[in-house]
Amino acid sequence: MTDRVLIEGLRIDATIGIYDWEKKVRQPLLLDIEMAWDNRRPGLSDDIQDALDYEAVSNELTALVQRKPYELIERVAEEAASMVMSTFAVTWLRLKVSKPTALKNAVSVAVQIERGTRD
Ligand SMILES: Nc1nc2c(c(=O)[nH]1)N=C([C@H](O)[C@@H](O)CO)CN2
């Protein structure tokens, strides 16, 4: 099944980083997420109940990332992936977490993970 629902460039201001100064400020993270979902049913029914609601996913991602401080973007990625799969019954996803303020001489840094199985 190759259908997907995507969220691109979701900005979440987070307490993120390994240094003391980073624990006292908020920095933006950008999340890109690609989720396997059978879009044929919502495509026929035109009913949000059949769809993977990207607004609901975005709200839950924001709440999760802002709930507590994190040190590594890897940890953010892992917890976000786990939450989306369990809360929304997503069986496969690809998630990228970017930290654009991390390096002064780079546009951005990021980690990307894939979890679950493509059926
Ligand atoms: N692989 C990672 N490397 C680094 C991270 C990270 O989250 N994952 N974090 C930092 C610092 O917090 C950095 O972003 C401060 O600018 C360094 N390396």
Say yes or no: CB of residue 74 within 6 Å of ligand 1: yes
How much is the mean pLDDT over the chain? Answer: 98
| Residue 7 CB less than 6 A away from ligand 1 | no
For 37-48, write each residue's pLDDT tens digit.
999 999 999 999
Residue 33 CB neighbour total at 10 angstroms: 24
Q: Is the ipTM of this complex over 0.90?
A: yes
Atom of ligand 1 nearest to the CA of 16: 12
Nearest-angstrom CA–CA distance, 69 and 11: 16
Residue 30: name the closest of 14, 53, 19 by CA.
14
pTM over 0.95: yes
Backbone angles phi, psi at 84, to 5 degrees: -65, -40
Three-class SS state of 6: strand
